Amino acid sequence: MTVPLQVFAPDARLLAEHARAMRLPLWTPWPLPSGWQLAGHGYVGGLTTARGTVLACRGPHPLSIEADVADMLVIAEEPDTGLGSALAGLDSADPGPDVGRGAPHVQATISGHPAPLWWVSRAAPDRAVYAGEAAGCWLWVVLHPETAGALLVEELKLADVGELGHEVELLPCGLLSPRLDLDVDLF
């Protein structure tokens, strides 16, 4: 079944309101990388019954090789939802057999807890995709273009927007990311 991703333009107050109402986390890099801005958020399902959430942010490309702008999408979803895989350019709901095998390729920290991430080799070639598990759900990080994966050389720190309090209203907002324009095949 294909369902639309409910997408919302960058608005820190609306983001905070949605994050408090959701049962799934709505993760953001915390703090945002220098020069980066919120670029929208969305969810699959209803606000209080969402099966998947995504937060987009945009900023200067860390290497400025292919593009001046890079996008980062951070996804939390229940297993077999399909949001992360759709944003990764996959044709199945899960990230594949490499996730969870061997040493992780990237280390994230969520509220002080480690969240190992593995490179998703089956992802579309125009993006860098990492996946793992955190807080009982899939955690995906999708970066455009693929060379923007250089952002993850340093440990990625994430926070649930719903736990940030009034600080979230100070997050800078930019333009809506075009990466959020898709329908999701639920598996």
pLDDT band at 105 (very low <50, low <70, confident <90, very high): very high
User: Can you read off the two tokens belonging to residue 67?
Assistant: 């593009």
The total number of structural domains that make up the chain: 1
Task: Work out the mean pLDDT of the chain and round it to a whole number.
Answer: 92
- Per-residue pLDDT at 65: 63
pLDDT tens figures, 26-74: 999 999 998 999 999 999 999 999 999 999 999 999 887 666 899 999 9
Peptide bond connecting 31 to the previous residue in cis, omega within 30 degrees of 0? yes
User: Can you read off the two tokens belonging to residue 136?
Assistant: 């009982």
- Per-residue pLDDT at 4: 79
- Look up residue 120 and give its amino acid: V
Task: Please tell me the pTM assigned to this model.
Answer: 0.95
CA distances from 1 to 11, 124, 185 (A): 30, 22, 6
Q: How far apart are CA 45 and CA 66, in angstroms?
A: 35
Q: What is the domain range of residue 81?
A: 2-185
- Per-residue pLDDT at 1: 63
Cβ atoms of residues 141 and 155 within 8 Å: no
- Look up residue 105 and give its amino acid: H
- Look up residue 163 and give its amino acid: E
150 phi-psi bin (left φ>0, alpha ψ -120 to 50, beta other):
alpha
